[in-house]
Amino acid sequence: MTTAPHDSENSSFRSPEIIGLLPAGGQATRLAPLPMSKELYPIGFRSAQGGMRPKVVSHYLLENMRSAGVQKAFFILRPGKWDIPQYYGDGSLLEMHLGYLTVHVPHGVPYTLNQAYPFVQGAMIALGFPDILLEPEDAFVQLVKQQAKTGADVVLGLFPTEKYQKAGMVDFDSTSGQVFQIVEKPQQTHLRYMWAIALWTPRFTEFLHRFLQTHLAERELPIGDVIQASIGAGLSVNAVPFPQGSYRDIGTSDDLMQAIRDFTPASIEPIAFPHPET
């Protein structure tokens, strides 16, 4: 007698699930005081039933992830940022499944990301920062394609920048995409590209988890340092450069004002409120 193959028998032929991670543990000190978490700052508008509605900054990143097949994502929050789950809820606004984790360690993004370890083992991870506006809109799609092509453990999305003192700058082969080195916040450099988003396999998730178990948290640890350590340990890191792409952090007043100007359509007329009767 023959039986239909059980789902588990075909699991090896399926691509791993991609889960989005959005670290939101910052305090927005450069913009303080704010009436909300900066990840919910309205930048531009979106179409909705009944007309146009404000579109918050993190919405753009989630859309970019969703276009690459990400159906599930976790915000990793500092306690107190409860307005984020209150706003997004279960994710139905984006037709995604959203969850929320809290972080209680003060030593940087790697420790924040590691809070998700029990929930994401075995999955591919799409990493993005929810206070960032980036283009192109299919950036994560291109990272997924590059990972499938190269089999790399980590694929980085690279963007040109002149603010190298504030970024993780990347030395890579422009033909193959192979990453040789990540230099965090150099004072001087010939490098042109910073990394801003990433896609990685379960192998890097395990490396990150083990690395943090043995790393002494004497200072804030950039995630770029962990990726650099993985290169030294033999993991493969690749990159997709976006020469015409853009990456804007709304964490300063100047960048926030510019983003509001760029993302507000000129066709939207000011709302005219009726004058009270006299």
Report the predicted TM-score, pTM, of the whole model to 2 decimal places. Answer: 0.87
- Cα separation, 239 vs 21, in Å, equals 19
Q: What is the DSSP string of 9-27?
A: GGGGGSPPPEEEEEEE---
Separation CA 42–CA 19 (nearest Å): 25
- Tokens read off for 214: 């043995």
155: in domain: yes
Domain with residue 242: its CATH number is 3.90.550.10
Span between the terminal Cα atoms of the chain, in Å: 88
The answer to whether residue 82 sits within a structural domain is yes
pLDDT recorded at residue 266: 63
For residue 33, whether the previous peptide bond is cis, meaning omega lies within 30 degrees of 0, is yes
Residue 6 domain flag: no
pLDDT at res. 219: 72
Whether 270 is in a domain gets the answer no
| Structure confidence at residue 135 (pLDDT) | 94
The reply to whether 113 falls in a domain is yes
Q: How many domains does the chain have?
A: 1
| Stretches in the chain below the pLDDT threshold 70 | 1-15, 26-32, 106, 216-218, 265-278
pLDDT at 272: 47
pLDDT of residue 73: 98
pLDDT attached to residue 83: 96
Domain that holds residue 21: 17-263
Q: Which pLDDT score is estimated for 29? A: 60
